[in-house]
């Protein structure tokens, strides 16, 4: 039985109280206020639940991450990155990106990005905490992702792609820029083959949470605009 969060407290149960099955389920209830969401992410916890359910809070073990200096760009992706038929932007269409991430996907029914989730993260975007990456072909948005920036950690939430490799292009540009700004960690939450192809690895929940204690307190001074070149993106990879 998982605990129900108190309305008058932002505290979460200790991470080691999370269930093994389903992996990482820690608590239920609470709200999606800015204060509670920041408390959650700083502790290694994120919300994930279906519309109509109580809010569920998760901290899976192991945790999927990407280290900016370990980003992997395959030979085929590098070829696509060199093409000039696309452009990438930050924070130019946040709401559009979140709606696209909430769209139907092959093999899935419905979406976890409810109106409540949408409103909460748009609010964080307006306060300079949540950010989006957009991949364009002409005036058409063909891919992107969004997440939260806290200290020197970027907490990825979701990505989408309407064209081949569009989400990988956006992710590669994002990680390359974050590396230049001094970010130390990209949280990808749960491992999958798509992320693994980009260099994602798994670490223990304990190690992930311990790293957040320091990294979320770091202060980085930058403006959310790209300052990197296409050449830098193509070369920012490991073998």
Q: Where are the domains of the chain?
A: 4-61, 64-235
How much is the mean pLDDT over the chain? 94
124, 148 Cβ separation under 8 angstroms:
yes
pLDDT in the model for residue 239:
47
DSSP 128: T
Question: How far is CA 169 from each of CA 54, 88, 192, rounded to the nearest angstrom?
Answer: 35, 8, 17
Residues 146-193 have pLDDT tens digits of 999 999 999 999 999 999 999 999 999 999 999 999 999 999 999 999
Q: Using the predicted structure, report yes or no on whether residue 99 has a pLDDT greater than 80.
A: yes
- Of 228, 140, 218, nearest to 185 by C-alpha is 218
Residues in the chain, total: 239
Strands (E), the chain: 4-5, 25-29, 46-47, 56-58, 63-66, 87-90, 130-137, 140-150, 153-161, 185-189, 201-203
On the 0-12 / 13-18 / 19+ scale of CB atoms within 10 A, 56 is: buried
4-61: CATH class: alpha beta
Q: Residue 236 — very low, low, confident or very high, per pLDDT cuts 50/70/90?
A: confident
- pTM over 0.75? The answer is yes
- What integer pLDDT is reported at residue 235 of this predicted model? 79
Handedness of CA 121, 99, 215, 224 (dihedral sign): negative
Whether residue 159 contacts residue 169, with contact meaning beta carbons closer than 8 Å, is answered with no
Model pLDDT, residue 128: 97
**Residue 35 confidence (pLDDT):** 97
Burial (CB count <10 Å: 0-12, 13-18, 19+), residue 53 = exposed
What band does 110 get if pLDDT is binned at 50, 70 and 90?
very low
**226 burial type by CB count under 10 A (0-12 exposed, 13-18 middle, 19+ buried):** middle
Structure tokens at 117: 């989730």
φ and ψ at residue 235, rounded to 5 degrees = -95, -10
3-class secondary structure, 40: helix
Sheet strand arrangement including 153-161: 87-90, 130-137, 140-150, 153-161, 185-189, 63-66, 201-203
Output the CATH code of domain 64-235. 3.40.630.70
Q: For residues 89 and 174, what is the distance between their CA atoms, to the nearest angstrom?
A: 9
pLDDT over 60 (residue 217): yes
pLDDT higher than 70, residue 106: no
Kindly state the average pLDDT of the residues 15-28: 98
């Amino acid at each position: 039985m998982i605990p129900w969060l108190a309305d008058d407290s932002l505290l979460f149960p200790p991470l080691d109280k999370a269930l093994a099955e389903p992996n990482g389920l820690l608590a239920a209830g609470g709200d999606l206020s800015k204060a509670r969401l920041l408390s959650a992410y700083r502790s290694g916890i994120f919300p994930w639940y279906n519309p109509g359910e109580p809010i569920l809070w998760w901290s899976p073990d192991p945790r999927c991450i990407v280290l900016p200096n370990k980003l992997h760009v395959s030979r085929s992706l590098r070829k696509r990155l060199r093409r000039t038929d696309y452009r990438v932007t930050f924070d130019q269409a946040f709401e559009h990106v979140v709606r696209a991430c909430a769209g139907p996907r092959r093999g899935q029914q419905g979406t976890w990005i409810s109106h409540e989730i949408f409103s909460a993260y748009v609010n964080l975007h307006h306060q300079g905490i949540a950010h989006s990456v957009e991949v364009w072909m002409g005036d058409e948005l063909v891919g992107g992702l969004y997440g939260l920036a806290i200290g020197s950690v970027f907490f990825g939430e979701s990505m989408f792609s309407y064209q081949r490799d569009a989400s990988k292009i956006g992710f590669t540009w994002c990680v390359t820029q974050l590396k230049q700004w001094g970010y130390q960690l990209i949280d990808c939450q749960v491992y999958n083959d798509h992320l693994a192809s980009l260099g994602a690895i798994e670490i223990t929940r304990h190690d992930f949470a311990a790293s957040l204690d320091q990294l979320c307190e770091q202060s980085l001074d930058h403006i959310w605009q790209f300052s990197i070149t296409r050449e830098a993106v193509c070369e920012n990879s490991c073998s």
